[in-house]
């Protein structure tokens, strides 16, 4: 069944046109992890030597972070799959508001900038509008390391008092295991005088990746990936040549593309330990998963309803809640999804309903009654992961789906439509309606 769009319905902004109902077959390569690459770029501020990062994804957020670092005096050279950074010429302590407003990851600069120069002024972070992203844990931690921190007119100002302008190691307990706070404080502590302990630290793979980079730069970090991380501050760090881990959220999204189209796909490279909760739910839903040590092959025929609740790692990731909901909209039975991380991350429900999904919500819980098929429709992704959910739904829907909101999608997925097209999807990007 093809959907005929009235003139008023046609997308007048950049959009993806997806003709659904096709089975996919083949292999898709996963790009480097966006959420790791951004913080690793900020870590260049910890040293005056060259930092080379490999396996870098081609994303608008990466471009945005590069512009922010250049505004601080960092020199940057980008090539195919890599970026070279040198922060020997830092000449600013505050990135301009217009650059940081739309990029939450810009706030990562405050930790290394403060540790290296003794002063930092960073506007409060922006990004997708999926709920509050408080910086109270960052501020509390920086104060524990000896910084004086104030927040006025939407700008966080931090300074290290004293003659040496050097942070001092200390004990920090996070009230919640914030990934951003953990990473900010790890970088700040890497150049502090003495030892720092972070309790109730985030355990995400991206935290472990940052620890790996700090160690490669000559730092000392123990316990990354556990609730307690210890950092021994160094007087200086040197450069490094470092490989970014594969993007576990992209890998999960691509596995879901195989599941929602009832296909057989190989996704590589993929680290199973980074997706434990997701793989368990896919198997519970009836998918077959085969790991070969480098990648993973998913096969799906019938998909059953499952219940899930988002949690910090190693629980089910909030970033895959929306894409997984698209799959469950086509599953047999009733599923329950509870979003426990962000209070405003069910905006994709209304768009899935436009495609025929039977979903009702109560607070931050969604009840999904699986339907035999979804129908193509014009939809809009309200944030990065909601946009991916719309693409997945379009792959499985009967007829044609137009997905708008590509400015969100391009923040976190490297050439997604090209990758899907390579395994048989009918998906095309249009810059105008």
How many degrees, rounded to 5, is the angle at CA 192 between CA 188 and CA 198?
60
Instruction: Check if the beta carbon of residue 356 is closer than 8 Å to that of residue 371.
Output: yes
Over 90: is that where the pLDDT of 235 sits?
yes
44 is catalytic: no
Residue 126: what pLDDT? 55
Q: Provide the pLDDT for residue 292.
A: 96
Contact assessment for residue 35 and residue 392, using Cβ atoms and an 8 Å cutoff: no
User: For all residues of the chain together, what is the average pLDDT?
Assistant: 93
* CA–CA gap between residue 305 and residue 310 (Å, rounded): 16
pLDDT band at 178 (very low <50, low <70, confident <90, very high): very high
Q: How confident is the model at residue 7 (pLDDT cuts 50, 70, 90)?
A: very low
Give the residue extent of every domain in the chain.
Answer: 7-31+246-430, 34-243
pLDDT in tens, 188-199: 999 999 999 999
Does 138 score more than 60 pLDDT?
yes
Average pLDDT over residues 392-419: 96
Nearest-angstrom CA–CA distance, 327 and 359:
12
Q: What is the pTM of this model?
A: 0.92
pLDDT mean over 226-249:
98
- Sheet of 148-152: strand order equals 119-123, 155-159, 148-152
Q: How confident is the model at residue 343 (pLDDT cuts 50, 70, 90)?
A: confident
Q: Do domains 7-31+246-430 and 34-243 have the same CATH topology?
A: yes
Catalytic residue among 44, 109, 128, 287: 128
Instruction: Output 132 or 126, whichever has higher pLDDT.
Output: 126
pLDDT score at 265: 98
Q: Which residues pair with 18 in a beta bridge?
A: 401, 427
The beta strand positions in 31-147, using DSSP E, are 50-54, 75-79, 82-86, 119-123
pLDDT of residue 23: 97
Which residue(s) pair with 368 in the sheet?
Answer: 335, 359
Residue 12's pLDDT is what?
Answer: 62
State the angle between helix axes of 276-284 and 248-260 in degrees (0 to 180), rounded to the nearest 10: 10
The packing angle between helices 60-71 and 34-42, to 10°, is: 10
Tell me: cis bond preceding 269? Omega within 30 of 0 counts. Answer: yes
The pLDDT of residue 132 is 46
Worst-scoring range by mean pLDDT, 132-141, 318-327, 392-401? 132-141
How remote is the C-alpha of 272 from its chain's centroid? 17
**Residue with token string 């200086």:** 236
Higher pLDDT, 39 or 344: 39
Q: Per-residue pLDDT tens for 143-173?
A: 999 999 999 888 899 999 988 889 999 999 9
Instruction: Name the residue with higher pLDDT: 131 or 265.
Output: 265
**Run of H or E including 238:** none
Q: In the CATH scheme, what is the code of domain 7-31+246-430?
A: 3.65.10.10
pLDDT in tens, 10-47: 446 899 999 999 999 999 999 999 999 999 999 999 99
Q: What is the pLDDT of residues 48-107, one digit of tens each?
A: 999 999 999 999 889 999 999 999 999 999 999 999 999 999 998 888 888 887 777 788
**CATH homologous superfamily, domain 34-243:** Enolpyruvate transferase domain (3.65.10.10)
Q: For the ranges 8-12, 147-151, 245-249, 283-287, which has the lowest average pLDDT?
A: 8-12
């Amino acid at each position: 069944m093809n959907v005929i769009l009235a003139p008023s319905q046609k997308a007048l902004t950049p959009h993806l046109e997806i003709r659904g109902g096709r089975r996919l077959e083949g292999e898709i390569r996963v790009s480097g992890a966006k959420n790791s690459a951004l913080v690793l770029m900020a870590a260049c501020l910890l040293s005056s030597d060259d930092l080379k990062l490999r396996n870098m994804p081609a994303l608008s957020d990466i471009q945005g972070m590069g512009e922010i670092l250049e505004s601080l005096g960092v020199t940057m050279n980008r090539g195919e799959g890599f970026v070279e950074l040198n922060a020997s010429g830092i000449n600013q302590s505050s990135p301009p508001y217009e650059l940081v407003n739309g990029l939450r990851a810009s706030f990562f600069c405050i930790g290394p900038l403060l540790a290296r120069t003794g002063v930092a002024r960073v506007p409060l972070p922006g990004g997708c509008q999926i709920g509050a992203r408080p910086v109270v844990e960052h501020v509390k931690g920086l104060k524990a390391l000896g910084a004086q921190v104030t927040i006025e007119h939407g700008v966080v100002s931090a300074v290290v008092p004293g003659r040496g302008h050097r942070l001092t190691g200390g004990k920090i307990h996070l009230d919640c295991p914030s990934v951003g706070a953990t990473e900010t404080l790890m970088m700040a502590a890497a150049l502090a005088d003495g030892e720092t302990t972070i309790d109730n630290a985030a355990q995400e793979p991206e935290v472990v990746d940052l620890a790996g980079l700090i160690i490669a730069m000559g730092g000392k970090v123990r316990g990354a990936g556990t609730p307690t991380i210890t950092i021994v501050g160094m007087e200086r760090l040197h450069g490094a040549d470092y490989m970014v881990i594969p993007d576990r959220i992209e890998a999960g999204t691509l596995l879901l593309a195989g599941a929602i189209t009832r296909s057989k796909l190989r996704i590589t490279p993929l680290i199973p330990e980074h997706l434990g909760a997701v793989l368990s739910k896919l198997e519970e839903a009836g998918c077959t998963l085969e790991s070969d040590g480098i990648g993973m092959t998913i096969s799906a025929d019938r998909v059953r309803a499952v219940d899930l609740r988002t949690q910090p790692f190693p629980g089910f990731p909030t970033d895959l809640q929306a894409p997984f909901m698209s799959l469950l909209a086509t599953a047999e039975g009733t599923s329950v999804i509870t979003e426990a991380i962000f209070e405003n991350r069910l905006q994709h429900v209304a768009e899935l309903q436009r495609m025929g999904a039977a979903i009702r919500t109560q607070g931050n819980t969604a009840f999904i009654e699986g339907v035999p098929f979804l129908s193509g429709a014009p939809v809009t992704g309200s944030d990065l992961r909601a946009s991916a959910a719309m693409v997945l739904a379009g792959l499985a829907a009967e007829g044609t789906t137009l997905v708008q909101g590509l400015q969100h999608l391009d923040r976190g997925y490297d050439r997604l439509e090209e990758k899907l097209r390579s395994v048989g999807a009918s998906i095309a990007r249009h810059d105008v309606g």
